[in-house]
Amino acid sequence: MICIFLFFCFITVTTLEDPCFTTKLIDDWRRSVANGDSSQICDNVLEEGWYRVVSGSGELMPTVCPYGGFRCGTTTPFWLSSSEVTGSLYPDNSSTVNRTTCGANYYGDCCEKTIDIRIKDCGCYYVYYLKPTTGCYSAYCFGNQLPCPDGLTSSTGFTPGCTNSSCARIENTQEN
Ligand SMILES: *[C@@H]1O[C@H](CO)[C@@H](O)[C@H](O)[C@H]1NC(C)=O
Ligand SMILES: *[C@@H]1O[C@H](CO)[C@@H](O)[C@H](O)[C@H]1NC(C)=O
Ligand SMILES: *[C@@H]1O[C@H](CO)[C@@H](O)[C@H](O)[C@H]1NC(C)=O
C-alpha cells in the first residue's frame, strides 16, 4: 500500500518537475522568420519559464541570422546562435542544453544582444527555457512557415504545399 502511494507520489513529482510537461504554450505563427511584419510582438513581457512551441508555422528557433531584423513579428528577432557550439544545436536523448540566442538588428548586426536559453529534447518536440527580452520590439523567432494565402489550403493550413484544395483532390483522383 505504501509502495503504491510512493509510486504515485514519484510520478506526480516527476511530472511536475519535468519541463516537457510545461503548460506554457507558444502558439503564434507571427513569430515565423518568414513574417516580415515587425511591430507585433514584444517579449519584454514574457514570463520566464519553460515553453513548448505549438505554432503552425513551426516549432524550431531559426539557426540562421534573420539578417537586418524586421522579421518574426518584431524589429529585433532573437535566433539560435551556433557560436561556441560543436555538433548539433538541438539536444537529443532527452537531454537539456544551454544555448545562446542573438538579437539581429536593422543595421546588420546579427548579434547585437544575447540571451541565454535552455532547450530540452522531449522526444517528439522540444521545450525552451526563455527569459524576457529587453526592449520593444524584440522577441524570439520560431518557425519558418506562413498560413496559406486566402483561398488556398494544406493539411496543416500552413505553407508549404498550399493548394487550391478542390483542384488538388481532382488531380489526385485522376492520377490513381
Ligand atoms: C543518443 O542515443 C543514440 C542511440 O542510443 C546514440 O547513438 C547517440 O550517440 C546518443 N546521443 C548522444 C548525444 O548521447
Ligand atoms: C546551464 O544553465 C543552468 C541554468 O543557468 C546552469 O545551472 C547550468 O550549470 C548550466 N549548465 C552548463 C553545462 O553550463
Ligand atoms: C483555384 O480554383 C479556381 C476555380 O477553379 C480558379 O479560378 C483559381 O484560379 C484557382 N486558384 C489557384 C491559385 O490555383
Residue 125 CB coordination number (10 Å): 12
Between the alpha carbon of residue 103 and those of residues 6, 38, 70, 78, 82, the distances in Å are 46, 13, 11, 4, 13
- Please tell me the predicted confidence (pLDDT) of residue 4: 52
Q: How far is the CA of 164 from the centre of ligand 3 (A)?
A: 6
Residue of the CA atom closest to atom 10 of ligand 1: 93
Residue of the CA atom closest to atom 12 of ligand 2: 98
Between the alpha carbon of residue 21 and those of residues 62, 126, 144, the distances in Å are 23, 11, 25
Ligand 3: does its nearest atom lie under 6 Å from the Cβ of 164? yes
Amino acid at 124: C
Strand pairing report for 138-140 and 126-130: unpaired
Task: Give the 3-state secondary structure of residue 101.
Answer: strand
Smallest-distance ligand from the CA of 92? 1
- Please tell me the predicted confidence (pLDDT) of residue 72: 97
Q: What is the pLDDT of residues 3-34, one digit of tens each?
A: 555 555 455 555 568 999 999 999 999 999 99
Cell triple for 85 = 557550439
Ligand 2: does its nearest atom lie under 6 Å from the Cβ of 98? yes
Does pTM surpass 0.75? yes
Q: Quick one: average pLDDT of 54-70?
A: 96
Q: How far is the CA of 8 from the centre of ligand 2 (A)?
A: 29
Q: How far is the CA of 149 from the centre of ligand 3 (A)?
A: 12
Dist. CA 128–CA 133, nearest whole Å: 14
* For the chain, domain boundaries: 21-145, 146-176
Q: How far is the CA of 168 from the centre of ligand 1 (A)?
A: 41
Q: Report the nearest atom of ligand 1 relative to the CA of 93.
A: 1
- Please tell me the predicted confidence (pLDDT) of residue 169: 52
Those residues whose C-beta lies under 8 Å from the C-beta of residue 70, and which sit 6 or more positions away, are 36, 38, 106
Cell triple for 124 = 517528439
Strand pairing report for 96-103 and 138-140: unpaired
Q: How far is the CA of 170 from the centre of ligand 3 (A)?
A: 13
Dist. CA 127–CA 120, nearest whole Å: 5
Residue of the CA atom closest to atom 14 of ligand 1: 93
Q: What is the pLDDT of residues 69-104, one digit of tens each?
A: 999 999 999 999 998 888 899 999 999 999 999 999
- Please tell me the predicted confidence (pLDDT) of residue 14: 55
Dist. CA 138–CA 75, nearest whole Å: 6
Between the alpha carbon of residue 94 and those of residues 18, 20, 119, 147, the distances in Å are 11, 9, 10, 31
Ligand 2 mutation target, pool 84, 85, 98, most atoms within 8 A of CB: 98
Cβ–Cβ under 8 Å, residues 73 and 140: no
The DSSP line for 67-86 is: TTS-BTTBSEEEEE--TT--
